[in-house]
């Protein structure tokens, strides 16, 4: 059931993708700093995140200047190995394949030596190695494609466990919700899409959404060690980019993957909590727009395809909410016009009765509009100069520094806009 939220309350929605990691951290730092100085009227009451945005959001929950500075310093010096690593099964298989290949090379060397003494025997020995070399190549390929994934987040888990102050997070006045996607439960059948009454009249719930929070009893009322470990595991599940990482698990064997598999802008979580004032830190990520970049390998192609999917879904989400806001404003005007028309009627003449009937029919028709049960949302979309094109598999220190500078500027510029929105 929707909760009533006073006008002064506001929420933040943080889209994901690695290029936003540093800007999010700095923008939230700037907002925290403005609130502490008295320039920002109030802190956000709620934050919903997509993917990697969960990390800076959890730093913000701790409401600590020192923690923000430490995190920004960590991002500037971040190494890829602190964030991701190869799947252990791939490492193990690679070691076995390397030893086997070394054995083959040694055998080939010996066959070459034999050729110096007896050319025929040497050639026979080399030919005998061909089937083994083929089988080894075949095994190496199978090892790659049969592994659960290329990468794992074990290092990130360890990093977050020592970085986050869980007592501060679970006692924070700022609520957080970190969605992820259940790949077993999401999706729609044609019967569901064409249900009667139509889904769009009364809204629908995608059964594929799961989330973890710092306020719901099922996430909080646990022994601290269990609570903290589950919290981090579920946070990381929302970062599991398909094509790179294996699905995680929440409470059963269903696979859980990155938030952006459905949308990189899960603003409906804030709306479902009752918020009508929402700030979206979108910036201007170059990776999601047209580019002249040349993609030289399949990993780069895959990352680009994911970015395009994220960009397309984000456009649909933003336009969807703006379209609802526009239509509701127009509906209010139409209802006001009908009210004026009805107030202008005097006496029970036939023409007046016909007009009254027309008005009632119009009102009934309006009640069947797809957006009639929606509410207008006050949005602030934070834009910026272009973000560096950084990926978790390919980023530099300069990109992280530039991202921090952009985010800080955005956060400072947002303060007067937020104050105006919540006044």
Of 156, 83, 32, residue with least CA distance to 400? 83
pLDDT tens for residues 58-105?
Answer: 999 999 999 999 999 999 998 887 777 665 665 566 555 555 555 555
Of 312, 304, 294, 308, residue with least CA distance to 393? 304
Of 285, 284, 267, 263, residue with least CA distance to 275? 267
pLDDT tens for residues 211-254?
Answer: 999 999 999 999 999 999 999 999 999 999 887 788 888 888 89
Q: Is 150 helix (H, G, I), strand (E, B) or coil?
A: coil
58 touches 23 (CB < 8 A)? no
Calculate the dihedral angle through the C-alpha atoms of 106, 108, 111, 112, rounding to the nearest 10 degrees.
-100
pTM above 0.85, yes or no: no
Query: Please, which residues bridge with residue 226 across strands?
Result: none
Side-chain-side CA neighbours of 128 within 13 Å: the count stands at 11
Q: Is the pLDDT of residue 1 over 50?
A: no
| Phi, psi for 178 (deg, rounded to 5) | -115, 100
The domains of the chain are located at 11-82+153-327+372-422, 88-146
pLDDT tens for residues 323-332?
Answer: 788 778 877 8
pLDDT tens for residues 149-189?
Answer: 557 788 889 999 999 999 999 999 999 999 999 989 888 88
270 touches 202 (CB < 8 A)? no
What Rg do the C-alpha atoms of the chain give, in angstroms? 28
Check residue 251 and give its pLDDT.
81
Structure-block tokens of residue 187: 């999706």
End-to-end CA distance of the chain: 26
Task: Determine the Cα–Cα distance for residues 377 and 204; give it in Å rounded to an integer.
Answer: 18
11-82+153-327+372-422: in CATH 3.40.50.1980: no
């Amino acid at each position: 059931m929707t909760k009533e939220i006073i006008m002064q309350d506001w929420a933040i929605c943080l889209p994901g993708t690695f290029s936003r990691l540093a800007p999010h951290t700095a923008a939230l730092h700037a907002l925290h700093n403005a609130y502490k100085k008295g320039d920002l009227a109030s802190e956000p009451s709620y934050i919903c995140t997509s993917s990697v945005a969960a990390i800076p959001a959890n730093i913000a929950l701790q409401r600590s200047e020192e923690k923000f500075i430490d995190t920004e310093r960590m991002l500037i010096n971040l190494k890829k190995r602190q964030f991701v690593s190869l799947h252990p099964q791939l490492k193990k298989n690679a070691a076995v394949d390397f030893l086997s290949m070394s054995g083959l090379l040694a055998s080939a060397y010996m066959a070459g030596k034999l050729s110096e003494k007896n050319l025929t025997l040497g050639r026979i020995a080399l030919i005998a190695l061909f089937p083994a070399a083929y089988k080894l190549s075949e095994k190496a390929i199978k090892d790659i494609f049969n592994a659960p994934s290329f990468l794992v987040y074990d290092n990130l888990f360890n990093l977050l466990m020592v970085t986050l102050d869980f007592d501060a997070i679970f006692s924070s006045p700022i609520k957080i919700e970190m969605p992820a996607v259940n790949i077993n439960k999401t999706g729609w059948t044609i019967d569901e899409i064409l249900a009667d009454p139509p889904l769009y009249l009364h809204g629908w719930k995608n059964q594929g959404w799961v989330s973890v929070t710092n306020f719901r009893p099922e996430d909080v009322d646990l022994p601290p060690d269990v609570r903290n470990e589950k919290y981090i595991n579920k946070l990381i599940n929302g970062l599991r980019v398909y094509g790179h990482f294996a699905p995680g698990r929440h409470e059963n064997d269903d696979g859980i993957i990155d938030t952006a598999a459905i949308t990189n802008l899960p603003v409906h979580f804030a709306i479902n909590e009752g918020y009508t004032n929402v700030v979206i830190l979108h910036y201007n990520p170059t990776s999601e727009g047209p580019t002249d970049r040349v993609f030289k390998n399949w990993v780069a192609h895959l990352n680009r395809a994911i970015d395009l999917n994220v960009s397309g879904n984000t456009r649909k989400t933003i336009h969807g909410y703006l379209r609802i806001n526009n239509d509701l404003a127009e509906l209010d005007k139409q209802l006001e016009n009908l009210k004026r028309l009805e107030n202008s009627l005097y006496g029970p003449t036939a023409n007046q009765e016909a007009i009254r009937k027309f008005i009632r029919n119009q009102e009934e028709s309006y009640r069947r509009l797809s957006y009639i049960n929606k509410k207008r949302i006050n949005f602030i979309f934070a834009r910026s100069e272009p973000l560096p094109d950084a990926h978790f598999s390919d980023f530099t220190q300069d990109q992280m520094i530039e991202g921090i500078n952009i985010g800080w500027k955005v956060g400072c510029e947002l303060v007067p806009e937020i104050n105006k929105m919540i006044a």
